[in-house]
Every structure is written in structure tokens, then in C-alpha cells.
Structure 1
Amino acid sequence: MFPLILVYVVLTIIRPQDYVPGLDLVPILPVVLMLAFGAWLISRDKTFQAPQFIILPAFLLILMVSEVANGWTGGAVDELARFGPAVIAFFVLGAACSTQKRVRTAMTVFVICAAVLALHGIEQAKTGMGWTGIPIGEGGRIQYVGIFNDPNDLGLLFAATLPMAMFLGRPGAGAMRLVWLGAAALLLYGIFLTNSRGAMLAVLVVAGCYVWYRRGIAVAGVLGVIGLTVMKLLSSRMDELDAGEESAAGRVDAWYAGLEMFRDNPIFGVGAGNFTEYNELTAHNSFVLVIAETGFVGFVLWLAFVGYGFWMMLTIVRHVRVPGKDAAVEADWATERQMALTLLLSLCGLFASAFFLSRSYMIVMYLIAAMVAGHYVGARRRWPELPFFRLSDGGWRWVPAAMGTIAGFFVLVAVLLRTV
């Protein structure tokens, strides 16, 4: 099961089937996923011990219902085919990442795949063409094939995997430390080449959260201001970061359109994938996209799915244990917390980027979320004192959280529209 889902991750990110002659004739990606799912079905490692394993299928159901509610019954089948693979991949990878060794291996695969895409971008930047046959994008921004054809998506991947590279290159990694730190530098250079403002801000968020954790909010704030100033000097697009700038203004207008869609269809939204049927531009915000397309019901589920991931990793990071006399046990706990902090920072980078992109259904998001859920389930087995999250115990709290988030967006957009 674990090797198969890792092969699926590699095929999803590196995507040789999109540019190697002949591979496009075979549905290699769905075949590998179905083999991994079959292995999951007969595996003893199956787990449903995290709320996300209930929430994600329910969210898929709402995606299907949103199409039916908007008068397109056939759209339910399309949503099952479109989002179903993400649900399957989440279940399989989440069950597989139950040990520290497997989480570390999954991180290794993600970092290597992201580094390959960064190398492709460097070749593009130097020669104007990558080995995939994809030329460098408009404005000299690097891009890849398939789901990473947009430079912003590349930046999202690099920002999310950067903390993993740093974890793998931590002190004690031995001779491989320089390799992983080199990979981290490669990812940072890749973000620079994408010239993605969202990805650059995501790096700033990741660094700020880490400094906040280590040194406190005051130091993080000062370094954040310095970091933002440096980024504006390095990137012409960061220098244009202003609500009145054309691209930013278009985003605000799209957010406003999305909230109007929600106002008109508050329960199930306008239907999954239908945002651009009502507005020329996509939402440019993963939260607004879910609010508009799936309504309040869908947004509650999606917010809960995302929120539990952050909550779980914070729980491990903040958990206080009475130190024991067994040095090996204490070393295992230290590694557990480092992994949780790494995945927490990856989530910060992922969703900081997603705040400026319409990537609510992107497979990479759910693969990383699977690692998070799997790590927590495994951590509870190793450390039974960690709390068990149940929807029945506190799932209701996501309803007022969703209400507050939607209200916050209405206020934010109202303020931004007055500054354009």
C-alpha cells in the first residue's frame, strides 16, 4: 500500500505521463491509485480514527449535491470522477503514514519531486525551454506541465515542501544534511523564479510562524517587516503589492463576486466548478471559492477538514510531557514534535498560498493533509495521552467558526473595495 501511494505521489507531481511519448496512452495515474486503494482495502492498517476521514467523503457528497441543487444531475457524476481520486488518495496515504519512518519517507518523496520541478524551472530560466517541452512563461516566470502549468501552483508546492526539506536537513542528519539543505535552497530559488507573490508571502508566513514559535511574536513581527521589504526589492511583482494594482483589484472584485454568489445561494452555493459561469475570473481565493460554490454547508465541512489538521499538529507541538529517564523515548518524543512542527509549517505555507489562489480541490493539498492526519493517528498510538478528536465532542464549533470566517470576508472585501 505505502509504495503504491508513493508512486502515485511521484506521478502526480513529476507527471511523466504528460510528456513522455507513449505514457499518455495508458491511464497510469488512475491505475496506480486503484492498485493502492485495493491494497488499502485488504490492509490491516486501515484507519478512520481522525475526523477528516468522515469529513472528506461528506464534502464530496456536498460537491455532488451542489450540482444537483443547481439543476444539473449529471454534474454529480462529474464531481465524483473529479474529486473522488483526492478522497481515495487521502484515505490511502493517511492510513500509510502511521509511523515516524513512513512520514519521513513521504516527506523525502515530496521534497525530491519538488526539487525536480525546481531544476526543470532553472533549465527553463537558462534556455527558455524545459525538458518537458514547456517553454518559460509570460514575464519569464517558470512553469511545468499539467496541474503545475501555472507558476503560482509551482510556488505553492515549493512553499509547502520547504519546511520538509529543512526538517530532513536538521542537525543529526549526518552526511545527507548538506543535500537536504541544498534542496531547501533549490526550492527557495524556484519560488524566486516563479515570481509568485502568493508563494513569496507564504515563505514569509512560514518563516514568521517558525520565529514566533522559537523567539516570540515581537521578534517575528520585526523580522517579518524586514523580510517583506527584502522581497519587494527582489521581485517586481511584490513591489506592485497594492489593493489598487490591476491584478490585486481583480482579485478583490472576484472575492466580491463570490460573496454575492453565496448571498444568492447560501445553502449549497452555485455548484462545484461553476464559479466562472457567474464571473469572468476565478475566485483567486480557495476559501471564497468553496463558500461560493458549495455554500454554507460545504464551507463548514471544508473549514473543519482544514482546521482539524492545524489543530492536531498544534496539539502535539504544545503537548507537555513529564520527562522520563529513558533517553530513547525522549528522543522519539522530540522527533514527534519536530515532525508535527514541520507539517504545521507546511500547512501554513500551503494555505498562505491558497489564500490567493483558487486551489480548493487541488490534489497536493489533500496529500499533505493525509500526511497530517496519518501522523496524528500514529502519534496517538505511540503517545496515548494525546487527545482523541471526535466530531461528536466538538464538531459543532465549526458552524460558528464558518459564520465568523464568512462575516470576516464580507468585512475584508468591503474595506478593500474602498481602497481600490
Structure 2
Amino acid sequence: MPLAIRIVVALALPLVAALTVAGTYLGLEIIVGAAWVALAMVGVLLANPVMGIVVMVSLYLLSAYPTVLQAFGFLTVQNLLGVGFVVSLAVYVLNTRDLSFLKVPQVIVLAAIGLVFLAATSHAPDAFPLLRPSRGKVFILDKTENLTHDFVTRLAFLLFFLVFVRSRRDVRATFLAYMLALYGAVPSALVNWMQGNLVLGFRAAASFGAGGNANKLSMICLMEMACWWFWALSDPGRSRRLIAGGAIAACLPVLLATGSRSGLLGAVVLGVLIQTGPRAFRVPARYVGMGVAASVLLVTTVIPAGDWARMTHLMPTKAEDRGAASSNVMREDTIFAGLHMIKDHPWLGVGLGNFREVSRQVYNDAFYRPPHNSYLWAASEGGVFVLGLYLLLLWITWRDLQVVTRLAHRDLGVGYIAAAMRIVYLLFCFFALFADLWQSPFTYILIGQIVAMRRYVERLPEPAGVVVRVTRGRRYALAAPA
């Protein structure tokens, strides 16, 4: 440990002890306890920072933290971990003099997006001098402060991810944390379904995280099906395949019970992506037939009739499905409002977090809903520059993923993760057409995972005797255990 860090620690310990006594005397035991927890986290993170990354990934996806800290908004587990990571990052930089994580293309693009959003938000009061915060049915519509905070903290999380996730073990740990934490929405939705807690009386939804929205829950189910499938093929053991089969089987009824039309389209996309991916990971025809037969059986027996009717009627009339028809009308209205914003404010947009306020107060939208389209959100709140930068971000990350796929033969233990991330990433880009995903933790977790995987496989030597197969212009070098 550098001498400067030792001096800081030596000076800090007496100060911490004095603050502990003072805090206890003033009745601030919870804050004092949180400070000690943060100090303990610093020690743990200095020893094994990937543990903190795994916890943060899980908490971001679960959107939960201990209720004892909820009365103090700043004392979230993520913030306490953030304090520990700042100290760990400082120690890392002092030890290695390595600032290469700031030169990662995705970090540079996200920083540019942040600067454009800053300009857009600063310009918004001049563009809309009469705009005032207003309340919707429950919450204040202005989300500028929340989205700004989320952008900054999640960019910091991405930096921590890029610095500390480096080895094969790290890559596998973060992938499994993503897969298992996200899967928690599936049993939650099943429990809600069995208890009769359904949205609109027939649509399944989880009790926490992104799974609380039926459309996002369908995306989660499809991503989880892909992750469990590739995980099952990563090892020849029968027990692993049985576990994965059970996990996939649980996802299927939840997917159908969401009644999500984007989920049905996403299922088609998932099938195409898997069957056009590395040959070793394609689904055999008999499994496809079993899945179709199971779906038919579920639809005819246990899936609420309203779910299937909603999924299969993309443009229903009010007589066919009043709820779905109203949803379409509101989506169309929101799209037109967003297009008007882009037309009137093409360069800087309406400002981060202002979509609903401007939609309601300026364009007199009766519904003033969120955009539910990431591409529309970026262009309307940040202008064409933000949209272009996000598209550049997606393209750079896709190029990194192609490199990972091409070099995955260097470590077959990471090969299945590369194949799974290809599916998950493309599903993410597809569902961004129907949901506000780009400002969510999904974006930063996927980017961090893909960049970390690329750096890892590029450091590995080329194994002798490996044949890279070229299929329809694509290079694949993945193999699954028999």
C-alpha cells in the first residue's frame, strides 16, 4: 500500500473513533452504524472488489435495499458501496498509475451524452419559460433530478465495473449475478399469479424491479431463457441441464401470462437469433416442437384468455380488447407528441426528464405518458446529437461483442457467456423500441460485461490447433461440451 494511503488511514482512524462517540452522543446511531458499514465495505472491497460489483449488479436489478435505511435517502447500499469503491479506485490508481479505463470508447461516448444532456437541461428553462413542475396521478412528472442522479451514479458504476472485473472468474461471477438476480422476477410473478395479483385482472407481473412492468417482464423471460440455455450447454452434466430445463420451463408460462405483444414478437426474435448463432448452441428441432406443444397446452388450459387475445391482436378494436386498443391509442399519441418535440427542438431536445411535463403542458397531451421507446426518448429529451451518440454507443458495444465471439475459443468457459450475451444484447436493442431502457441499469451492466469480456479474451494466447469456422460471412469459434 502506498505511503500516502497509510498516512491517511493512520490519521482517519482516530477521527472515525471521535465521530463515533459524538454521533452516539447526538443520537445519530443509524448514521454512525452506516459509516462503520461503509468502512467495513472499504476493507472488503480492497481485498475483493468484485464482490461489491456482484452486489451492485444484483441490487440494481432487484431495485431493493434494507428498509432500515429507507428513511435516509442517501444511505442506500449502492451509495455505501460507492464510497468503498471510490477509496478502492483511488488505491488502484495510486498503485498502478493506470487511467486506461477513462479511455474506453463507451465511457467517452457516455461522457459526451452527459455533456449534451447538461446543455439540453440548461437550455430547457429558456425554451419553456412557463413550464412548472406538476403532479400526475401519483408522482411529480418532472424527472430531471432523478435521471441526472441515475446517469452520474450509473456511469460511476460502469467505471468501477471496468476497473475491477478483469479475470475469468470475475466475468463468470458478474454474468451469474446478472442471470440469477434477473431471474428473481420469474418466481415472483408466478407467486403473484397464484395469489390472483394480476395487472388488469389477467396480466402477470413481478413484485419488484423491472419485472413489475408486464412488457419488461416478457423481455426478462426471454433473456433468461437464453441465459439458462447457454449455461446448460456449458457443461455436459445432466444435473445442470435439468436445473436449466426447470428454469426455462418456469419462464414459459410467465411469458405467456404477461399478455405482451412485444413479448410475442421478441419470442420470434429469440428463436431466429438462437438458430442463426453458433451451431453448437442451436436448439434441436425436437426441443422446438416440445416448446410449441407446451405453449399450446398452456394457452388452452391455464393462461387467462385475455393474455393470449392481447398478445395475438396487434391492432385490436375496442370491441375486441378495450385495454389493448386504449394502449395503442395512448402509444400513438405519445409517439406523435415525441415527434412534435423532435421537430420543434431537434438539436437539444426538451431537456432530460422533461418529456412528460412538456407533453402535458406544451403539447396538451391528454395522456402525458413516458415515451416507452428508447430511441424516441433520446431524440426528444436530448436532440439528434444524443440519439446519434446512443446509436454510436450501441454500435461500438456490438463491435466489441463480435470480437468476443470471434476470440471465445481461447477460453470455452467464457464461450457460452459470449453466445448468451449476443442474444441478450440484441434482445435489449429490440425491446428498446417498446420500453425506456437506455437510462436503466441494463445498459451499464451489459456494456460493462461485454467490454470486460473483450479485454479478457484479447489478453489470452491463441491455443494451438483451433479451427475457426466461417459461416455465411461470420466467424465463430465456439464449442459446447457434448
Pairwise TM-score range, normalised by the shorter structure: 0.7 to 0.9
1:183 and 2:247 correspond? yes
- Classify 1:310/1:8 alpha carbon distance in 2 versus 1 (closer, same or farther; 3 Å): same
1:14 and 2:14 correspond? no
- Structure 1 counterpart of 2:183: 115
Counterpart residue type for residue 60 of structure 1: G
| Stretches of structure 1 lacking an aligned partner (at least 5 in a row) | 129-134, 320-329, 386-420
- Greater length-normalized contact order (CA 8 Å, ≥ 6 residues apart): 1
1:24 and 2:70 correspond? yes
Q: Secondary structure at the match of 1:355?
A: coil
Give 1:349 shift: 1.6
- Structure 2 counterpart of 1:380: 458
1:340 and 2:418 correspond? yes
Does the Cα contact within 8 Å between 2:350 and 2:380 map onto a contact in 1? yes
- TM-score w.r.t. length of structure 2: 0.66
- Structure 1 counterpart of 2:35: none
Q: Distance in 1 between matches of 2:175 and 2:404?
A: 18
- Structure 2 counterpart of 1:167: 230
Does the Cα contact within 8 Å between 1:111 and 1:183 map onto a contact in 2? no
| Stretches of structure 2 lacking an aligned partner (at least 5 in a row) | 1-48, 128-141, 318-324, 360-367, 464-482
Does the Cα contact within 8 Å between 2:186 and 2:251 map onto a contact in 1? yes
Q: Secondary structure at the match of 1:282?
A: coil
- TM-score w.r.t. length of structure 1: 0.75
More helix by share: 1
Q: Distance in 2 between matches of 1:361 and 1:21?
A: 25
Give 1:5 shift: 1.4
- Structure 2 counterpart of 1:99: 167
1:65 and 2:65 correspond? no
Q: Distance in 2 between matches of 1:72 and 1:64?
A: 14
Give 1:290 shift: 0.5
Does the Cα contact within 8 Å between 2:218 and 2:254 map onto a contact in 1? yes
Q: Please report the RMSD computed on the Cα atoms of aligned residues, expressed in angstroms.
A: 3.4
Counterpart residue type for residue 164 of structure 1: C
Deviating above 4 A after TM superposition, structure 1's stretches of 4 or more consecutive aligned residues are 72-79, 230-234, 333-337
Q: Deviations over 1:145-168 (max 9, x none)?
A: 355432223333333343222222
Does the Cα contact within 8 Å between 2:148 and 2:352 map onto a contact in 1? no
- Classify 1:211/1:305 alpha carbon distance in 2 versus 1 (closer, same or farther; 3 Å): same
- Classify 1:189/1:278 alpha carbon distance in 2 versus 1 (closer, same or farther; 3 Å): same
Q: Distance in 1 between matches of 2:69 and 2:226?
A: 32
- Classify 1:27/1:236 alpha carbon distance in 2 versus 1 (closer, same or farther; 3 Å): same
- Structure 2 counterpart of 1:205: 269
- Classify 1:77/1:124 alpha carbon distance in 2 versus 1 (closer, same or farther; 3 Å): closer
- Structure 1 counterpart of 2:50: 2
| Greater radius of gyration (CA) | 2
- Structure 2 counterpart of 1:52: 106
Counterpart residue type for residue 39 of structure 1: S
Q: Distance in 2 between matches of 1:37 and 1:158?
A: 34
- Classify 1:313/1:22 alpha carbon distance in 2 versus 1 (closer, same or farther; 3 Å): same
Q: Deviations over 1:214-233 (max 9, x none)?
A: 57xxx9xxx9xx98xx7997
Q: 1:274 aligns with which of 354, 363, 366?
A: 354
Does the Cα contact within 8 Å between 2:411 and 2:457 map onto a contact in 1? no
- Structure 1 counterpart of 2:26: none
- Classify 1:243/1:214 alpha carbon distance in 2 versus 1 (closer, same or farther; 3 Å): farther
- Number of residue pairs the alignment of both structures matches: 359
- Structure 1 counterpart of 2:20: none
Mean CA deviation greater in 160-169 or 146-155: 146-155
- Classify 1:182/1:382 alpha carbon distance in 2 versus 1 (closer, same or farther; 3 Å): same
Q: Secondary structure at the match of 1:359?
A: coil
Q: Secondary structure at the match of 1:300?
A: helix
Q: Deviations over 1:37-71 (max 9, x none)?
A: 43234335863453102111221222222110112
Q: Distance in 1 between matches of 2:164 and 2:274?
A: 27
- Structure 1 counterpart of 2:477: none
Structure 1 vs Structure 2: percent identity of aligned residues?
A: 19
Q: Distance in 1 between matches of 2:67 and 2:273?
A: 44
Mean CA deviation greater in 144-153 or 67-76: 67-76
Counterpart residue type for residue 56 of structure 2: Y
Q: Deviations over 1:192-243 (max 9, x none)?
A: 333322233223212211212357xxx9xxx9xx98xx79977222122128
Q: Secondary structure at the match of 1:33?
A: helix
Q: Distance in 2 between matches of 1:146 and 1:54?
A: 29
Q: 1:137 aligns with which of 199, 209, 222?
A: 199
Counterpart residue type for residue 440 of structure 2: M
Give 1:267 shift: 1.0
